[in-house]
Amino acid sequence: MNFALKLRGPLVSALLLLAPAGFGQVAPEAAVETSVISRQPGYFLGWPTLARTADKLMLVYSGGREDHVDPFGRVEWLVSMDEGRTWSEPRTLVDTPIDDRDTSLLVLRNGTIVVGYYASLAYQIHLNAPDRRMARVFGAELPAHLERWRRAETATTVSERERLRGPWMIRSRDGGLTWDAPTKVPCFTPHGPLQLADGTLFYAGADGKKAGVWLSRDEGTTWTWQSDIPVRAGEMHAIQAADGTILVQVRDKVTTTNAAGVAVTTNTGTRQTESADGGRTWTPQHDIGVQGYPSHLLRRRDDSLVMTYGYRTKPYGVRARVSRDHGRTWGAERVLTADGATDDLGYPTTVELADGALLTVWYEVPAGSRFAVLRQARWR
């Protein structure tokens, strides 16, 4: 279903001025045009990744969900033939008996499309303790949802669920018409791997215990370990700058300075590490002044770098920064949106359009709903 409720920057700014006291004073850039691109009533949509070929944009995300964590998540796919003005109806690429979530998408230079996802059993935490999250989310409907979740759980054996669990990839060599069988990968992070200048797939991710680099020279079918990365084994993303430097950004605690000039490490944000030798060695991780998380990195045609990230303190929304020195420094924060109803939003992903504009997509739970939609911003 394509939904085209559009809010332009000046209108959003006006709405913010009318918002209740304490909502926040930050207004988005005037040149930002936003729209809800996929509204599926009764479903929670999350964790998208964008990519493009010469003739179309593609978007994957986790759909078919009742909640942020549940047993029903599946990998869905949208296509746009007009630079994101309109999008196709969703197509299901993966639907295992457990929660298929945290999707990634990469178009290799030879045209192969690689989609990643994580098949998760995290919903069992809530199924085994429904009085915690499930009771709050489903209210009086809790018994019916508990029954559905239990039926989903008993459709497979313990050994079958464990075999499905973990990070996987599928590949298409015909533009997304058909897909190979899934193959297991050794690590995972939202938005997946990148392709280096020499064609190698470079995956900066976590294997559940440590953060590191894995390399593949066969389109992600097999992987070899390369190095540890000195960051938390959490959500990260990597990019190779034009000068060859590889940057990895990770969701972590960041240090800020209070009014008394004292450094305080309390805010969750984004930190960065760099490698000048293809990912074999890394600089110590360091703050880059970004309180949002997690980030997505894009290298534009002019070799500038763009990072976009969710902002989960009021005013909730999505923000961006640009680097013109290969990631050594980042420019002023740009506010793409500041009208989020809650902090349940983010995981933005960005592509450069044919005319040089940028298109960013993220998930967001709108006011008055518990089901997340996919929202996009077109900006320069």
Domains of the chain by start residue, with CATH: 6-121+165-379 (2.120.10.10)
The mean pLDDT of 70-82, rounded to a whole number, is 98
Does the pLDDT value for residue 163 go beyond 90? yes
User: pLDDT digit string (tens) for 17-64?
Assistant: 333 333 345 778 768 999 999 878 899 999 999 999 999 999 999 999
The mean pLDDT of 305-325, rounded to a whole number, is 97
For the whole model, what pTM was predicted?
0.91
Contact 226, 239 (CB under 8 A): no
The mean pLDDT of 304-312, rounded to a whole number, is 98
Burial pattern 17-46, b for ≥16 Cβ within 10 A else e, equals eeeeeebbeebbbeebebbbbbbbeebbbb
Which range is least confidently modeled, 13-27, 79-93, 218-232, 296-310? 13-27
Q: Which of 137, 134, 115 is nearest to 123 (CA)?
A: 134
Neighbouring residues of 21: CB distance < 8 A, sequence distance ≥ 6? none
Contact 103, 116 (CB under 8 A): yes
The mean pLDDT of 301-313, rounded to a whole number, is 97
Neighbouring residues of 164: CB distance < 8 A, sequence distance ≥ 6? 96, 97, 98, 119, 156
The mean pLDDT of 233-244, rounded to a whole number, is 96
Q: What is the pLDDT of residue 18?
A: 34
pLDDT class of 266 with cuts at 50, 70, 90:
low
Cα 175 from Cα 115, distance rounded (Å): 12
Residue 80 main-chain phi, psi, to 5 deg? -125, 130
The mean pLDDT of 217-234, rounded to a whole number, is 95
Q: What is the pLDDT of residue 6?
A: 45
User: Token pair of 361, please?
Assistant: 């997509």
Does the pLDDT value for residue 14 go beyond 80? no
Q: What is the pLDDT of residue 29?
A: 77
Does the pLDDT value for residue 237 go beyond 60? yes
Q: What is the 3-state secondary structure (H, E, C) of the chain?
A: CCCCCEEEHHHHHHHHHCCCCCCCCCCCCCCCEEEEEECCCCCEEEEEEEEECCCCEEEEEEEEECCCCCCCCEEEEEEECCCCCCCCCCEEEECCCCEEEEEEEEECCCCCEEEEEEEECCHHHHHHCCCCHHHHHHHHHHHHHHHHHHHHHCCCCHHHHHHHCEEEEEEECCCCCCCCCCEECCCECCCCCEECCCCCEEEEEECCCCEEEEEECCCCCCCEEEEECCCCCCCEEEEECCCCCEEEEEEEEEEEECCCCCEEEEEEEEEEEEECCCCCCCCCCEEEEECCCCEEEEECCCCCEEEEEEECCCCCEEEEEEECCCCCCCCCCEEEECCCCCCCEEEEEEEECCCCCEEEEEEECCCCCCCCEEEEEEEC
Contact 123, 152 (CB under 8 A): no
